[in-house]
Structure 1
Amino acid sequence: MPFEAAARIGTHNDKVFAMSREFDGKVAFVSGAGGGIGLAIASDLLEHGAYVFAFDLKAEPDALQGHPRARFVQGDLRDSAQVQSIFDAIDKAHNKLDLVVNAAGLCFFERDGSVEKADDAVFAATIDVNLTGAIRVVRASLPLLRKAGGGAFVHIASVVGLRNMENIIDGGPADAYQISKAGLISFSRSIAMQYAREKIRSNTVCPGSISTPMTADIYVDPRRTAAMEARTPLGIIGLPADVSAATLFLLSEKARFITGIDLPVDGGLLAKL
C-alpha cells in the first residue's frame, strides 16, 4: 500500500482498536513521535486518555499540535543531556511516569548492507539511535517509573532482530540495522528481568513490512511493494496502526502478566521462515 494511503488510516481514529479511556491519568513518553509508528502510538495514547510527552528530531507534526494533553519536544536521542531534560520536565509537571515507548529508529537502507559494504559511520549512527538512544531513555526514565510504583516499557524493534534475513529489503542484508534491533531486543529482556520485582515491565514489538515515512522510498516502487506483499503470508503491507495496536496492548493493564517478550507484527512472516 502506498504511504499516502497508509497515512490516512495510520492511527486509530478509524476505530481499528478501541480501548475506551484505558490510559486516563497515565503519563507517557514516546520517542520517534514526529511521524510513522511513533506518531500513531502517541496519537492513540492521547485518544485513550494519556498525557503524552512526544520526542523527535523532526518538527512537531500537525496531528499533535494544540492537543491539551500533548507536549512535543524537538531533540536528539544521541544527546544524553537533551534526553535527560525531557524527563526532568515530566518530573516537574507530573512527578511520575507510567509508560515509555522507544519508537525512534534509523535505517540507511541503500547505504547499509553487509559488514564489508557499510562503513563505520553507518554502524555508529544506526546503533547510536536504535540501541544507545533507547538505553539513554531507559536510564533517564527509571526514577520516574519508580515514583509511579511501576510501569511499562515497549521498544519498537524489528523482525530482523529476531531472525536473520539475508534480504531485508530486496538488495541484500542490512547488518547495522539488524544488529541494532537484535541488541534492543536483548536489552529489553535484560531490563524486564532486572526490574520485574519493582513492577516495571519491558517488552518489544517487532514489525515486519510497515508503510511509514521511513519506508516511503521503498514502497513508491510497485515492484518492491509487490515483492514485500508476496513474501508476507497475509499478502499485505502493514500500517503504523497495526504496530500501535500491539504496543497499546502491551502498555495496558491487560498485559500486566506479560514481560520480557517480543511480539511480531509481521503478517505471519516469521511463522513462514
Structure 2
Amino acid sequence: MSIFKHHAKLETNVFFLAVGILLSVIVGGLVEVVPLFTIESTIEKVDGVRPYSPLEQKGRDIYVREGCYLCHSQMVRPFKDEVERYGHYSLAAESKYDHPFQWGSKRTGPDLARVGGKYTNDWHVRHLINPRDVVPESVMPGYPHLKRELDYSTIDADMKALRVVGVPYTDEQIANAKKDLVEQATSDDASAAVAGRYPKARMGSADANPKVTELDAMVAYLQVLGTMVDFTTVKPEKIAR
C-alpha cells in the first residue's frame, strides 16, 4: 500500500508531477530514436524506382490540387486481405521521391498504389470526366475541367526545386523537361528520348487531343503508380493476417 501513498504525493505535487512527465517523455523518446542510429536506412533498397517524368509530375501536382488524396490512399498495408485485393504491400522506397507522399488511410474510393496498368487510358479519361460512365455506383465527382490545356511553363523550375529536397533529377533531365513532357503526351514511340530517361513511362495522348491537357498529365501519373518495382525480384516477408 505504501507505493500508492507515494503515488498520491506525486500526483498532488505539481513540481514532482512535471518532473515525472518529463522523465517519461525523455525515456520514451530515447527508446524510439536510439535504435534508428543503428541502421543505415529505413528505406528498402529496390531496383526500378525513379523520379517522376515531367508529365507524371505535373499529373501528381493536379492530383494533389484536386484533393484526390482525401478519398484515395496510396498505401497497401501488409495484411492478407489488402495484399489479395490490391497487390504487394507498399514499400517505403516507392515513395522516396514523393513530396509529400500520398500514403494515408482514408478510403472512400479504392487504394491507388497499384492502379498503374490496371485500366486503359480511355477508361481513366471516362472515369475522370464522369465516374458513373464506368462505375455506376461511384460517388466520386466528375472532373470535366481537366480537358483544358496543361500549363507546364514552370516544370523545369519545379524539378530544380525538387532536386533541392533530394529528388535526383539530372541537369539533362531538367534541360529537356518541357520537350520530354510534350513528347510523352503526344508520341507513341517507345524509343523516344523521354522513354529512355524515364523507363516504364506510359507514352501517348490519353484523350486524343493534339494539345497537352491536364487529363494527359493525370492519366500518365495514375498509369505509373505501382509499376516501377518488379515485385518478382523483391524478397517477400511474412504477411500479417
The TM-score normalised by the length of structure 2 is 0.23
Query: Which structure is richer in relative contact order (CA contacts within 8 A, separation 6 or more)?
Result: 2
Q: Which has the higher strand share?
A: 1
The TM-score normalised by the length of structure 1 is 0.21
